[in-house]
Structure 1
């Protein structure tokens, strides 16, 4: 098959289309003929040499794909040859075929094209596992997601609202291609998706705004992709029994916090990486 190979750590120019061996199908796996893939931050980090795939995973980039089932392992019962699916991957989506554990394969949702479905698994699995499985966000609680207009953010807004939570978001810097007029357009987009409180972090202190909107209590759950620079401020924004889940380190990995922030309000700090 053909696959995109990272020839050495570097910029996009290190990606090359090459002939490689077909994936070897294990008994609990599904072989997918790839229709489309998606681009995640993890893919760019892997290309730069900063995010290697787990041991035993495909060396080719990409954490999600969509396509048609071409073969199934002998222990797989749910999926059939010809099924249209999308999948969460530990790697290998930038190829004509990929072998995936059957438990990581998902049906294409009704009303979503096969191509568009390639962009769903990584955000869906990240948000569901961190916000609901780990942080136990429930109806009536308050939830803050940083980077509200990102892939993770837009999915988190919609599913948190569907589950009955009040949603706060902060907006990241605008990208000219999709949001040419700046932050305010991103905030309006988040509002359209259902966010209740939209905070422009360039002009507002999100801690003060969260406290103002919650009567001084803070929010129950925070999903954070920023890391070091936001850690203490996130803790200051949490309610009693609040839960912070860190999934990214865009501002760095090392910081200092006041441990006495945690004790009086019984705060929980946790982290997750879907690929691991």
Structure 2
């Protein structure tokens, strides 16, 4: 098969051995589309190695058609149209993955749009509703609101009646987030978000992709018994923590990653998506948001685009041209 390989941080589409398997609980998928994520850029730069045993090939989510199933798999059959959450290997013509990390496509969702679902909705659901333990009508602050995860999280907040405030990098992105259902927002180029979020009422849960440079301001706007869920370090990894504020306001800080979780844990998250998100995708209440697409041979251009923080929603790679 062909796959994207990283040579001295350069991307090359070339022939490689196909993955072995499938084992008893695995399925082999012919990849139609692959999602592009910031984790791919980090891995390419040498800062985010795959978990032990995972493919060295980039790519954390795909859509496609099942080719083959292991003997213990009863949920899928060859020919089924699916999407999958991966620990690696998505920038390729084929992947082999534990069946618990695979979901059938919702009705009327194309293979193209389905590739925009697994990573962002799993990340948003995990960190808002499982790690963040969102309770009825609690308010959410979403940083990087126009990102793939951000646009999924906005829609989940709207669907489950959680007011959300977003921070973004442009007026265009702010308008797009409000159109998706964000209640309010702030352009980070206008300075600190603290007073705007305080005036809005503060946040019960913060979903933070930035890290160190936002820690002090996050603490200032986090309500009593609030939870800060950290999922990225775009603003650095080291900062001063106000433990007095943390103590007096009973704030909780939670670090969260999805990629290294075992198949059983990922399966639990995807089961929740199938129960709570998939029906809303079917009705159109929720939708995958695709910003731009490139062919797999143009993966370099897709990476440059994502690196520029230009996207509103997902960036995708077309592997075999299926719709």
What is the match of residue 43 of structure 2?
Answer: 46
1:133 CA drift (Å): 0.7
What is the match of residue 173 of structure 2?
Answer: 186
Counterparts of 1:195-210 in structure 2 under 5 Å?
195-210=182-197
2:67 maps to 1:70 = yes
Q: Deviations over 1:111-146 (max 9, x none)?
A: 321112112111011001111111111331100100
What is the match of residue 15 of structure 2?
Answer: 19
> In structure 1, what is the Cα distance between the partners aligned to 2:239 and 2:87?
29
Cα pair 1:88 1:121 within 8 Å, conserved: yes
1:204 CA drift (Å): 4.5
Cα pair 1:149 1:190 within 8 Å, conserved: yes
Cα pair 1:6 1:16 within 8 Å, conserved: yes
Counterparts of 1:148-167 in structure 2 under 5 Å?
148-167=145-164
2:246 maps to 1:262 = yes
Which consecutive segments of 4 or more residues in structure 1 shift more than 4 A?
none
**Could you say what secondary structure the match of 1:232 adopts?**
helix
Equivalent pairs, count: 259
Counterparts of 1:232-247 in structure 2 under 5 Å?
232-247=216-231
Q: Deviations over 1:175-203 (max 9, x none)?
A: xxxxxxxx111111111001101112222
**Could you say what secondary structure the match of 1:38 adopts?**
strand
1:205 CA drift (Å): 2.6
1:110 CA drift (Å): 2.6
> In structure 1, what is the Cα distance between the partners aligned to 2:106 and 2:209?
27
Name structure 1 gaps, 5 residues minimum: 173-182
TM-score normalised to the size of structure 2?
A: 0.78
Counterparts of 1:111-190 in structure 2 under 5 Å?
111-172=108-169, 183-190=170-177
Cα pair 1:143 1:165 within 8 Å, conserved: yes
> In structure 1, what is the Cα distance between the partners aligned to 2:146 and 2:4?
29
Higher relative contact order (CA 8 A, sep 6+): 2
What is the match of residue 2 of structure 1?
Answer: 2
Greater displacement, 109-118 / 193-202: 109-118
Q: Which has the higher helix share?
A: 2
TM-score normalised to the size of structure 1?
A: 0.91
Give the counterpart of 1:274 among 258, 277, 280: 258
**Could you say what secondary structure the match of 1:115 adopts?**
helix
**Could you say what secondary structure the match of 1:42 adopts?**
helix
> In structure 2, what is the Cα distance between the partners aligned to 1:54 and 1:112?
30
> In structure 2, what is the Cα distance between the partners aligned to 1:18 and 1:202?
41
